[in-house]
Amino acid sequence: TRSLRIAAAQLGPIARTETRAQVVERMTALMRAANARGAELVVYPELALTTFFPRWYIEDQTEVDAFFETEMPSDETAPLFRAAAELGVAFSFGYAELVREGEGRIRRFNTSVLVSSQGEILLKYRKIHLPGHRDHEAWRPFQHLEKRYFEVGDLGFPVADALGGRIGSAICNDRRWPETFRMLGLQNAELVLIGYNTPQHYPPAPEHDHLQDFHNHLCLQAGAYQNGTWVVGVAKAGLEEGCELIGGSCIIAPTGEIVARCLTRGDEVAVADCDLDRCREIQDNIFSFEKHRQPDQYGLLVKP
Ligand code: CDT
């Protein structure tokens, strides 16, 4: 077996006034709790370092940019990297990434990284499916302005051979798209790390509010099963600046079964032993792409 002990490190709400240093302290406490339970990899949510700022329409770009990181590690995140080195654990987390290119061009992405215990970036992913809208929509009780604040990721769906397996990432809304999982599945991913911030209330279709937890697990479990991969889904949860976010962070086996999950909407760790060899149970059988997939029949899937 190739067993990796993984922790889903769910974060409760982060206030707008909370500093990076305060959040990193919470993340470090979760890392220590996970390590005490033997975890070798700790997975944190999307945009883990700040409150989920796309809920606000902010006109002043300087104010928006204060939510972004220009370097990683930064002085403020360094304590997390130091704890990982001390404990010998790898970790993955999401953050808003600001990149300065030539001639004053600035690009902004919703990014996640997988980091080795030694601080090496093993995998970087920039979110491709950006949900929500671009302009202020006054009718909404809160905004979802990811299309305004971020560009579509430009790194594709990369995988990394790391920690004894093949690992991919996706971010929040990506998990609702089977194409995300299939892009990773076609590269033989054995573990997919996914952070999310999902409001309980979906303003465009409030009749689905009671289904948010169901749809979360439905997508994560289907993605795992249909590609024979482990999936770790990690929430930022709870009542954040008046907006309730679902929890339900979990670790899912390649069979689609949830093997560990968080029960609260606060800071909490769920741990499971993930035998990466179990991917073969699915990848060699029911979803052996080589034996059973019919790509010649799927032309519509890649037409714009
Ligand atoms: N962060 C993120 O992608 N959240 C979306 C919310 C619903 S779309 C406005 C999600 O898919 O969970």
C-alpha of residue 7 to centroid of ligand 1, in Å: 23
Q: Count CA atoms closer than 13 A to 127's CA, side-chain side.
A: 30
What is the band of 1 on the pLDDT scale with cuts at 50, 70, 90? confident
CA neighbor of 232 nearest in space, from 186, 203, 273:
273
Say what the pLDDT of residue 191 is.
99
- The catalytic position among 127, 146, 243, 262 is 127
Q: What gap in Å lies between CA 74 and CA 80, rounded to an integer?
A: 10
180: left (phi over 0), alpha (psi -120 to 50) or beta: alpha
Residue 172: active-site member: yes
* Average pLDDT over every residue of 219-244: 98
Assign 191 to helix, strand or coil. strand
Burial class from Cβ neighbours inside 10 Å (0-12, 13-18, 19+) for residue 140 reads: middle
* Average pLDDT over every residue of 196-207: 98
CATH number of the domain encompassing residue 153: 3.60.110.10
Q: What gap in Å lies between CA 183 and CA 175, rounded to an integer?
A: 12
| In the chain, % of residues over pLDDT 70 | 100
* Tens-place pLDDT, residues 152-186: 999 999 999 999 999 999 999 999 999 999 999 99
With respect to residue 299, please indicate whether it lies within any of the assigned structural domains: no
With respect to residue 94, please indicate whether it lies within any of the assigned structural domains: yes
Residue 46: active-site member: yes
* Average pLDDT over every residue of 72-91: 98
With respect to residue 162, please indicate whether it lies within any of the assigned structural domains: yes
C-alpha of residue 199 to centroid of ligand 1, in Å: 7
CA neighbor of 222 nearest in space, from 160, 261, 214:
214
pLDDT of 225 above 90: yes
With respect to residue 176, please indicate whether it lies within any of the assigned structural domains: yes
Q: Which atom of ligand 1 lies closest to the CA of 110? A: 1
pLDDT of 78 above 90: yes
With respect to residue 304, please indicate whether it lies within any of the assigned structural domains: no
pLDDT of 226 above 90: yes
Q: Which atom of ligand 1 lies closest to the CA of 175? A: 11
* Average pLDDT over every residue of 119-124: 98
With respect to residue 302, please indicate whether it lies within any of the assigned structural domains: no
Structural domain boundaries, residue 105? 3-293
Tell me the average pLDDT of the chain: 98
Assign 105 to helix, strand or coil. coil
Domain total of the chain: 1
* Tens-place pLDDT, residues 243-290: 999 999 999 999 999 999 999 999 999 999 999 999 999 999 999 999
What is the residue with the minimal CA distance to atom 7 of ligand 1?
198
State phi, psi for 177 to the nearest 5 degrees.
-105, 120
With respect to residue 300, please indicate whether it lies within any of the assigned structural domains: no
C-alpha of residue 215 to centroid of ligand 1, in Å: 11
**What would the two tokens of residue 101 be?**
């290119």
What is the residue with the minimal CA distance to atom 4 of ligand 1?
198
With respect to residue 11, please indicate whether it lies within any of the assigned structural domains: yes
C-alpha of residue 110 to centroid of ligand 1, in Å: 12
165 Cβ partners below 8 Å, 6+ apart?
A: 2, 4, 190, 191, 276
Ligand 1 pocket (Cβ < 6 Å) reads 46, 131-132, 144, 172-173, 176, 196-198
> How would you label 231-252 residue by residue, b for 16+ Cβ within 10 Å and e otherwise?
bbbbbbbbebeebbbbbbbbbb
pLDDT of 93 above 90: yes
- pTM (2 d.p.): 0.98
Say what the pLDDT of residue 289 is.
98
Q: What gap in Å lies between CA 221 and CA 215, rounded to an integer?
A: 10
